[in-house]
Amino acid sequence: MERWISLGDYNPETTELRVRSGKGQKDRLCYVTDGAKLALDIWLTARGNEPGPLFWPADGRGRPLVNRRMTDQAVLLLLRRRAAQAKISAFTPHDLRRSFISDLLDAGADIVTVQKLAGHANVQTAAKYDRRGEEAKRRAVELLKVPFAESTRPR
């Protein structure tokens, strides 16, 4: 399944990133904002404008080495190194997907929008990625305001 992103898939003016993946190789638009946009802009300055993969291997200082796609294994090893540097438990690209979905839901994004951003065919699939626990349900219920006047209490 081809799921690589090329330089031409990113529009820095609109921050749109076209992603092709999943069953049927469907395209979807994602958006790069905040710190992710800043990091990507820095990478693109180092990478240059040569057509090819958006990301390719770099040396330890962020300098591009060769214009070739990173393998799945290379990405996994990179994440393991970063986890070790941060002194946190190792994680996988799929863990990042789960975090993306849960963090969007936790920030208040609706499940349908999250489903579309994740490229899921249905809401139930996106909901399976939700790692939020009971506290999220408590915060959701606290959004409701039930009017009650003390004067209406039975005596």
Q: Decide if pLDDT at 143 tops 90.
A: no
Look over the chain and give the mean of its residue pLDDT values, rounded to a whole number: 87
User: What is the 3-state secondary structure of the chain?
Assistant: CCCCCEHHHEECCCCEEEEEECHHHEEEEEECCHHHHHHHHHHHHHHCCCCCECCCCECCCCCECCCCCCCHHHHHHHHHHHHHHHCCCCCCHHHHHHHHHHHHHHCCCCHHHHHHHHCCCCHHHHHHCCCCCHHHHHHHHHCCCCCCCHHHCCC
pTM for this prediction: 0.75
Domain boundaries, the chain: 1-70, 87-146
pLDDT (tens digit per residue) in 31-40: 999 999 999 9
Condensed to tens digits (0 to 9), the pLDDT of residues 105-134 reads: 988 899 999 999 988 889 999 999 888 888
State the average pLDDT over residues 18-30. Answer: 77
